[in-house]
Amino acid sequence: MKIGFIGLGIMGKPMSKNLLKSGYELVIMDRNPAVLNEVAALGAEIASTPKEVAEKTDIIITMLPNSPHVKDAVLGENGVIDGAKSGAILIDMSSIAPLVSREVSERLAEKGVEMLDAPVSGGEPKAIDGTMSVMVGGKKAIFDKCYPVMDVMAGSVVYTGGIGAGNTTKLANQICVALNIAAVSEALVLATKAGVEPELVFQAIRGGLAGSTVLDAKAPLMLDRKFDPGFRIDLHIKDLANVLETSHELNVSLPLTAGVMEIMQALKADGMGDLDHGALVRYYEKMAKVEVSR
């Protein structure tokens, strides 16, 4: 099976490599020539436009930064919609607004093209080792048909409902992650300010009710002062903007999410937007005038 892949960024590049390793033929497109050549060296074919990608494949995957980028690649000039054949399938694995997923799906349906919205969670490390979580919306029959393709890139692929449900689930995921990182930050800064070793606090609480995947993943990085991006603050701001836009459309109040969004915006203003979202701890450190470390 020949698959199209548009968007070879931090997540898309390792995802495309995992497809190649599993024996799929790939047609790729990105604006970065160096990345294109890197993936092409593994056997992928390079295309110059999303239209060309769609013309040569039956399943097209998009992994792009946000809603406008997806709309442009799919519905814009020389977009996927111009090259896709009736019966083709678009799997949009970007994290975008659910209403945009529905809009794109409706336009594609006019040409007989199916769509799944299938955002991912796990960051670059899990994209590299193929253990991401994928949350998928769309027709169940299309999900079943595409499951083997998504499974190659993931440790968990879960059907969540109709089109848009995948991105709604991702928004819920990003709320939980952001608030959890903020809670870990507050806890470790408090311990440090009180003169208690944050490493010992981490070890003491991780086995109880406070334990979580976020705690285990982010606390050691905070303690080691490692803030290289697995998932950048800028990208989490983008996701929380989609969360709050959707919540306002639905008249849902999300005060904790709004609070963490403001913290991230403060860090971005301090030049930290390219750091990992675990750098949330640096906001609290600045306020408390301490540094969390081993």
Catalytically active residues, by annotation: 170
- Distance (Å, rounded) from C-alpha 265 to C-alpha 223? 23
Query: Which amino acid is it at 206?
Result: R
Residue pair 183/251 in contact by the 8 Å Cβ criterion = no
C-alpha 195/C-alpha 163 separation (Å) is 50
Is 76 exposed, middle or buried (CB count within 10 Å of its CB: 0-12, 13-18, 19+)?
Answer: middle
Residue 143 to residues 93, 114, 139, 154, 163, Cα–Cα distance (Å): 13, 10, 6, 14, 11
| Residue in this structure with the two tokens 């991006």, named with its chain if needed | 229
Three-state secondary-structure class, residue 4:
strand
Give the largest Cα separation in the chain, rounded.
65
Q: Which two tokens stand for residue 211?
A: 């334990």
* CB contact at 8 A, 124 and 10: yes
Determine phi and psi for 61, rounding to 5 degrees: -105, 130
Cβ count near 209 (within 10 Å): 6
Backbone angles phi, psi at 190, to 5 degrees: -60, -45
CA quadruple 159, 233, 75, 99: dihedral sign: positive
Nearest of 98, 99, 20 to residue 61 by alpha carbon: 20
